[in-house]
Structure 1
Amino acid sequence: MSAPPIDGLVTRLRAAGCVFAEEEAALLLEAAALGGGAQPGDRLEHLVERRIGGEPLEHVLGWVAFAGRRWGVAPGVFVPRQRSELLVREAVAAAPPGRAVVVDLCCGNGALGGAVALALRDAGGEVVLHASDVDAAATACAAANLAPLGGVVHAGDLYAALPGSLQGGVDILLCHAPYVPTAAIALMPPEAREHEPLVALDGGSDGLDVLRRVIADAWSWLAPGGSLLFEVGDDEQLATVATHLTAVGLGRRVAEDDETGATVVVATRRAPEGKRASAGPNA
């Protein structure tokens, strides 16, 4: 008797270097069973060949599990990392009660902004959600993910993509900017450097090229009391961004997750004494 399909599949995945072969096999079997078109066996073989060929599992499946939900992610689009759930938690904690304007810059597939919006709404709040990315594949993916949440996705470079009416009214400004130094890109796993867009990975010589631009103009987009949140990779980057935040008048605190290795900076435009900003315009 031949081995059950999942046993043979696990063996093939493990031989290809998949660390979590059992979990991946179960997910690939599920995807093949749910897919349309070809017969399940043919669909499964196609998916397995893609995975063994080095394509990220999330691209093969068409979704990524993030913050308790599956979000669509297409080939060529940055896959949100689990460590970025810290950024989501900190954003939810920093949001004002009631109504909040949330903007997700460098949004990729939109999972971070979407997760924040869902968490705030689950807590009884109202959310106005905007997202932007310079990559066309990412904005198409984000639009599909965020449309059911009422989110609006814009294509373009950072703030230039956003409606001007949002200036001075953003309560939560997420930015998962690339922060990997150019020289370190070659050291990343092949799944990332061969299948995700370079624009979503390469942060320039010290990894902070995009974040410098974001920080420089953040004050004018934040509401009083609003916060800019982003990730950094190490203490040297943290020290550098601290200098830039001080220069533009933003206060800051740092949150870390030892389990995932995530470091999130929460930079806040202080509200006038005795006031906490209400949400900005309904753009």
Structure 2
Amino acid sequence: MSVFSSAPLRSTLVTRLRAAGCVFAEDEARLLLATARTPAELAAMVERRISGLPLEHVLGWAEFCGLRVAVDPGVFVPRRRSEFLARQAGALARPGAVVLELCCGTGAAGAALAAAVGPVELHAADLDPAAVRCARRNVAAAGGRVYQGDLYQPLPAGLRGRVDVLIANAPYVPSGEVDLLPAEARLHEPLVALDGGADGVDIQRRVAAAAPAWLAPGGHLLIETSERQAPATVAAVAAGGLLPRVVECEELDATVVIGARAA
């Protein structure tokens, strides 16, 4: 329980956060008060949040599929919509499955899948060294291994043809739209985790093209995308030789393309 329980303190904090443009000021105040251990730490956290730092970077964690996932400064913050990706992947996995998460960021999706399914052989990779360090902490409980490098390049050769579930939340913001993102993302998350190329599907195409070589017979590739980009993502998955289908969640505004390799 937080040591900060006075109603006036909470009210003051909500007022400051709201004035700084925090839409969910009440929720943010509750989380800040519950996380801070001393008045000095609370004051520092509030100043960082008011200056525009993402709440998850201030707290050092994000809730994802019921897990508390570590989020280090400068690392891509897992979005709530990506819980749909993790749950779709979990529905296709069985205990003992070989799971690979590309463009893993914090490793949230892989960690959530492992927590839901049970023991799996979990692998993850990301180009950003800060993300790799963060992901290693988050997948440690599942015995996961995280590699630094470009997509499949850093993976051990022994994974080829063995992956049952391949998760990819590759960046899918079109290059020309990155400047339209909220300042929290533009200023505090790595560009490599946001920019998906001219139409936002460049990285997805690379993931899909090489996926069949890494998937086991009957394995599945799952790519998060947007409703608008889903046709291009489907085309990329089909061009890679997988059978695509689209699943959507209206509540989370989430779209996932699933590609199946023939058994």
Normalising by the smaller structure, the TM-score range is: over 0.9
The superposition leaves residues 44-101 of structure 1 with CA deviations (integer Å, 9 ceiling, x where unpaired) of 1100000000000000000000000100001100000000111111111122x44200
Distance of 1:110 and 1:3 partners within structure 2: 37
Task: Give how far 1:267 is off.
Answer: 0.5
Deviation at 1:246, TM superposition (A): 2.2
2:243 corresponds to which of 224, 236, 251:
251
What is aligned with 1:270? Answer: 262
Which among 127, 140, 146 is matched to residue 134 of structure 1? 127
Q: Does 1:54 align with 2:46?
A: no
Match of 1:118 among 111, 115, 120: 115
Match of 1:160 in 2: 153
The one of the two structures with greater contact order (alpha-carbon pairs below 8 A, sep at least 6) is: 1
Residues in 1 aligned to 2:111 and 2:193: alpha-carbon distance in whole angstroms:
18
Distance, in Å, in 2 between the alignment partners of 1:98 and 1:66 is: 21
**In the aligned structure 2, how far is the partner of 1:15 from the partner of 1:242?**
43
Q: Contact conserved, 1:168 with 1:222, CA < 8 A, in 2?
A: yes
Letter in 2 for 1:18: C
Gaps of 5+ in 1: 34-39, 272-283
Cα deviation for residue 238 of structure 1 reads: 1.8
CA contact (8 A) 1:180 1:233 kept: no
SS across alignment from 1:254 = strand
CA contact (8 A) 2:234 2:245 kept: no
CA apart distance, 1:128: 0.1
Task: Give the Å deviation of 1:3.
Answer: 6.9
Counterpart Cα distance in 2 of 1:232 and 1:206: 12
Structure-2 residue corresponding to 1:91: 89
Structure whose alpha-carbon radius of gyration is higher: 1
Q: Is the 1:133–1:154 Cα contact (8 Å) retained in structure 2? A: yes
The TM-score with structure 1 as length reference comes to 0.89
User: 5+ residue gaps in structure 2?
Assistant: 1-5
Task: Classify the secondary structure of the residue corresponding to 1:64.
Answer: strand
8 Å CA contact 2:237, 2:244 repeated in 1: yes
Identity of aligned residues (%): 57
SS state at 1:99 partner: coil
Aligned-partner Cα distance in 2 for 1:63–1:189: 20
Give the Cα–Cα distance (whole angstroms) in 1 for the partners of residues 78 and 49 of structure 2: 18
Question: How far, CA to CA, are the matches of 1:177 and 1:66 in structure 2?
Answer: 18
Contact 2:124–2:145 (CA<8 Å) still a contact in 1? Answer: yes
Aligned 8 A contact 2:218 2:260 in 1: yes
Moved over 6 A (4+): none
Q: Give the AA of the match of 1:181.
A: P
Q: Which residue of 1 aligns with 2:187?
A: 194
Aligned residue in 2 for 1:31: 35
Distance 2:24 2:223 in 1: 29
Instruction: Specify the SS of the correspondent of 1:264.
Output: strand
Q: How many residue pairs end up in the alignment?
A: 258
Distance, in Å, in 2 between the alignment partners of 1:259 and 1:120 is 23
1:154 alignment partner, SS class:
strand
Could you tell me which amino acid in structure 2 is paired with residue 69 of structure 1?
Answer: L
SS in 2 for 1:180: coil
> Matches of 2:11 and 2:74 in 1, distance apart?
30
